[in-house]
Amino acid sequence: MTDKTPCPPQPDTDAPRSPGRRSMLLGLGAAGGGALLATLPSQQAAAEEAGSTGHLSDRVTYLGAHQAGVTTDRPPMGLVVAFNILATKRSDLERLFRVLTDRIAFLTQGGTPPVIDPKFPPPDSGLMGPVVSPDNLTITVGVGASLFDQRFGLADKKPRQLIKMPQFPNDALSAELCHGDLMIQICSNTTDSNLHALRDIVKNTPDLLMVRWKQEGFVPPPRATGETQSAPRNLLGFKDGTANPDHKDEAEMNRLVWVQHGATEPAWATGGSYGVVRIIRNFVERWDRTPLGEQEAIMGRHKPNGAPLGMKVEADIPSYHDDPEGKRTPLDAHIRLANPRTADSRRNLILRRPFNYSNGITKSGQLDMGLLFICFQSDLDAGFATVQQRLNGEPLEEYIKPVGGGYFFILPGIPDKTAFLGQSLLAETA
């Protein structure tokens, strides 16, 4: 049953976004408060021991032309949650976007939730103690094709390439893990920050949103020995992310990721992006019984150091034109199909931002783990759809099974504190 308890007044979200050096050093940020100061050193030590690279005071702005969580650094923990929208009126859809904006402002910047009469449910779950620290949190909101049905009068404003994610040949999509009117990606240094943010959003939208599916994931920390370059490993034991475009290169991100003004998309979509989520199970028991040479031929890279086959280091650029028969890198190796590195295939580049996941065991007693694959692009057809089409039938398919996910349009950013998420979309159809 949906909890319809009205929420008590929410805290001021106007927390300063540039904490002083001293408060940064103390790990206080905008949150302030002695309670945090008292607990910080041990929490931080624990996080560092666990390999987390972040600090409780790390704060990512939620304001700007683009939403955070796409080209910002990927923190160690991430989750994707998809919702059905319960609102049926346009005014309620606007209320939903305003509430989300308000919660994103508070949760990502941190602060102290109000203390209220104990006869009411507490405004905050308390998962993070009396002070909510930012902890590198980003909350990224996307909308599915179904938002543009008859309910809200938005049909003619649908991003041109936004469709319900199709079933690809190797997919075994499970209905309860797919699609949704709204998708929220929540990323931070720690699982509890992500869950705290999720619970806050769910609590504040009882009559507006219903959770449809959720998948949590993680990025392993850099290992102290033997790892010479950046990309962390996936659950097949290979470095994953090596050949990703540079998310810090603004020009490249404008070319590949962000919908540009004057593009073929509706004007409201400028600054947004297409987000693809795929829950891809890995058959790790079978993989772990596969000879190393075969694993490497399937991926097209050496397992220990991530170098392209026949090359020395991870950063080496694979070359295929001098290997037309695939003697060094098989023609059907994952990386060669995904990016054949021709002049034409430059327009198919995508920004990958995946997380590993481990969900326990399946009904038949197999380890249920895999890749929460997430990627972003300004052109869905040229990006994910083309790359996935090239991967259809690849040898890696024997070891993977996509079971869920969806296509979403990542809304443009919130330009300033007077604005709200989705405002450009609603303004165009007011």
Of the pair 91, 342, the CB lying nearest ligand L6N33NVT is at 342
State the nearest-atom distance from the C-beta of 177 to ligand L6N33NVT, in Å.
15
C-alpha–C-alpha distance, residues 31 and 113, integer Å: 10
Residue of 406, 402, 394, 386 lying closest to 171 (CA atoms): 402
Q: How far apart are CA 417 and CA 399, in angstroms?
A: 47
CB of 115 to ligand L6N33NVT, least distance (A): 46
> What is the Cα Rg of the chain in Å?
22
Residue closer to ligand L6N33NVT, measured from CB, 157 or 301: 301
Taking the least distance from each CB to ligand L6N33NVT, the nearer of 124 and 240 is: 240
Rounded to the nearest whole angstrom, what is the least distance from the CB of residue 174 to ligand L6N33NVT in the complex? Answer: 16
- Separation between Cα atoms, residue 202 and residue 221, nearest integer Å: 30
CB 274 within 8 A of CB 140: no
Report the residue number, 110 or 383, with the smaller CB distance to ligand L6N33NVT.
383
Q: Which helix (H) or strand (E) holds 360?
A: strand 355-361
Pick the closer one to ligand L6N33NVT by CB: 9 or 291.
291
Residues 6+ away with beta carbon under 8 Å from 170: 392, 393, 397, 400, 401, 402
Q: Which is nearer to ligand L6N33NVT, 2 or 342 (CB)?
A: 342
- Closest distance of CB 383 from ligand L6N33NVT, Å: 9
Q: Which residues bind ligand L6N33NVT (CB under 6 A)?
A: 234, 236, 238-243, 278, 280, 282, 299, 301, 334-335, 338-339, 350, 370-371, 373, 384, 387-388, 391, 400
- The residue (of 59 and 336) whose beta carbon lies closer to ligand L6N33NVT is 336
Cβ-based neighbours of 115, under 8 Å, separated by 6 or more: none
Quickly tell me which residue has 């909101």 as its tokens: 141
**Closest approach of ligand L6N33NVT to the CB of residue 345, in Å:** 9
Q: How far is the CB of 148 from ligand L6N33NVT (least distance, A)?
A: 24
CB of 242 to ligand L6N33NVT, least distance (A): 4
Structure tokens at 35: 């309670």
How far, rounded to the nearest angstrom, does the alpha carbon of residue 48 sit from its chain's CA centroid? 23
**Minimal distance in Å, beta carbon 171 to ligand L6N33NVT?**
10
Q: In the chain, what is the straight-line distance between the N-terminal and C-terminal CA atoms, in Å?
A: 33
Minimum CB distance to ligand L6N33NVT smaller for 184 or for 280: 280
Question: Rounded to whole angstroms, how far apart are CA atoms 405 and 173?
Answer: 8
Provide, rounded to whole angstroms, the least separation between the CB of residue 241 and ligand L6N33NVT: 5
HSE-up of 130 (CA within 13 Å, CB side)?
11
Q: d(Cα 184, Cα 191) in Å, to the nearest integer? A: 15
Q: How far apart are CA 400 and CA 1, in angstroms?
A: 36
Give the count of beta carbons closer than 10 Å to the beta carbon of residue 306: 25
* Closest of 360, 79, 77 to residue 220, by C-alpha: 77
Determine the 3-state secondary structure of 395 from DSSP.
Answer: helix
Nearer to ligand L6N33NVT (CB atom), residue 209 or residue 350: 350
